[in-house]
């Protein structure tokens, strides 16, 4: 199977600092893949490696079978950076036509495509305005138009909605859904606004400290994270939670600001369901609801990043103890 994007052990070092650490990912053609991680996780560096703006220290990558950085790979890509830069004294229309011609389009084709994109993104009224007069949000839209000018098969977008208001962000999300659906364009997109990203993506790739944490279908990942967590509300939650906190079959029990108990099961799920039902009856309370807790992309992110941090701290502590033991 030829993937839209594929890497094997992709690594990038800056001196002694490893920004991207042995990452192997696959992105299926025609999907919208959310590329997420904390600040400094290595997302932007990875994207620059994919488009050929940086050369890897180790490993390799392919764009539809072509090596990253090759002319064949670059022709397939459209890229919009988090902080786009333009020739400020150029008008939007002329800038996009120029970029289209740089990509090998004829002037007539670039002109037509530019008009379509400006209208599609709702900035056609500013076609003859100098770019230096554009707001940050308008510059972001112009950057997206530039990435689409040559009708690429794959879009790599680094925080494309970062400078937009809620209405503008929603507009971009709907535009991306449309182009993916109608033109079968593959989208590899990073964003910190996970609630909005969740409405857009089919799959998610999460990295932290330059390492791959998880790569999965969003729905399956959310089900996996929420699989052992439940929410409960009764007529006397204080009474119930005081009992649950003492039970060995409960891994975690806490109450939120809405007076709802969140419980994490520990051990066998069948036994958990049986024992917690017995404890609810023992409390002699009226049960309002007891259901599986639904997970969203943000809760998945917090759980997986948190686990990653704990593992890293544990590994650092083991390394420290080994060095102390051997007098290093």
* Residue 299 pLDDT: 75
pLDDT digits (tens, 9 = 90+) for 35-62: 999 989 999 999 999 999 999 999 999 9
* Residue 326 pLDDT: 46
Asked whether this chain's domains 5-217 and 227-292 adopt the same fold, the reply is no
Domain boundaries of the chain, sorted by first residue: 5-217, 227-292
Helix (H) or strand (E) holding 190: strand 186-190
- Cα(267)–Cα(312) distance, integer angstroms: 25
- Mean pLDDT rounded to a whole number for the chain: 87
Report whether pLDDT(222) > 80.
no
Q: Which residue did the predictor score with more confidence, 246 or 306?
A: 246
Report whether pLDDT(16) > 60.
yes
Kindly state the tokens that stand for 116.
């379509």
pLDDT digits (tens, 9 = 90+) for 160-214: 988 788 888 888 888 888 888 888 899 999 988 888 888 889 899 999 999 999 8
pLDDT class for 295, splitting at 50, 70, 90? low
CATH class of 227-292: alpha beta
* Residue 319 pLDDT: 46
* Residue 126 pLDDT: 95
Asked if 63 and 77 touch (Cβ cutoff 8 Å), the reply is yes
Lowest pLDDT segment from 124-133, 155-164, 213-222: 213-222
Residue 74 Cα distances to 31, 51, 208, 254, 259, angstroms: 19, 6, 27, 51, 54
Kindly state the tokens that stand for 175.
């535009």
Asked if 284 and 235 touch (Cβ cutoff 8 Å), the reply is no
* Residue 62 pLDDT: 96
* Residue 170 pLDDT: 85
The strand pair at 250-255 and 203-208 is best described as unpaired
pLDDT-above-90 percentage for the chain = 58
CATH class of 5-217: alpha beta
* Residue 200 pLDDT: 87
Average pLDDT over residues 260-272: 87
pLDDT digits (tens, 9 = 90+) for 296-324: 777 778 878 875 554 543 444 444 444 44
Which among 5, 13, 20, 45 has a CA at the least distance from the CA of 208?
20
* Residue 302 pLDDT: 80
Q: Is 78 helix (H, G, I), strand (E, B) or coil?
A: strand
Residue 203's φ and ψ, nearest 5 degrees, are -130, 165
What pTM was computed for the model? 0.78
* Residue 27 pLDDT: 95
* Residue 34 pLDDT: 93
Asked if 6 and 164 touch (Cβ cutoff 8 Å), the reply is no
* CA 305 remoteness from chain centre: 13
* Residue 72 pLDDT: 96
* Residue 305 pLDDT: 81
């Amino acid at each position: 199977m030829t993937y839209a994007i594929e890497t094997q052990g992709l690594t990038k070092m800056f001196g002694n600092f490893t920004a991207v650490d042995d990452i192997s990912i696959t992105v299926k053609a025609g999907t919208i893949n959310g590329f997420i991680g904390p600040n400094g996780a290595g997302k932007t560096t990875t994207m620059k490696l994919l488009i050929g703006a940086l050369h890897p220290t180790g490993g390799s990558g392919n764009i539809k079978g072509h090596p990253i950085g090759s002319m064949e790979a670059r022709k397939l890509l459209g890229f919009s950076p988090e902080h786009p830069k333009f020739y400020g004294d150029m008008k939007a229309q002329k800038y996009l036509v120029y970029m289209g011609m740089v990509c090998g389009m004829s002037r007539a084709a670039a002109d037509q495509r530019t008009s379509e994109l400006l209208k599609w993104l709702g900035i056609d009224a500013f076609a003859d305005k100098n770019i230096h007069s554009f707001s940050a949000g308008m510059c972001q839209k112009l950057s997206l138009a530039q990435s689409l000018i040559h009708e690429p098969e794959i879009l790599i977008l680094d925080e494309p909605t970062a400078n937009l208001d809620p209405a503008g962000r929603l507009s971009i999300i709907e535009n991306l859904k449309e182009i993916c659906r109608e033109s079968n364009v593959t989208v590899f997109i990073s964003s910190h606004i996970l609630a909005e990203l969740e409405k857009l993506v089919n799959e998610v790739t999460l990295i932290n400290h330059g390492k791959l944490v998880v790569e999965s279908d969003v729905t399956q990942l959310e089900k996996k994270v929420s699989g052992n967590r439940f929410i409960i509300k009764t007529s006397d939650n204080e009474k119930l939670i005081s009992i649950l906190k003492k039970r060995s079959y409960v891994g975690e029990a806490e109450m939120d600001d809405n007076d709802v108990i969140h419980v994490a099961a520990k051990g066998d799920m069948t036994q958990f369901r049986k024992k917690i039902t017995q404890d609810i009856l023992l409390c002699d309370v009226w049960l309002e609801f007891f259901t599986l807790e639904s997970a969203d992309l943000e809760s998945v992110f917090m759980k997986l990043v948190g686990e990653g941090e704990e593992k890293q701290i544990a590994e650092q502590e083991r390394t420290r103890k080994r060095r102390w033991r051997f007098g290093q």
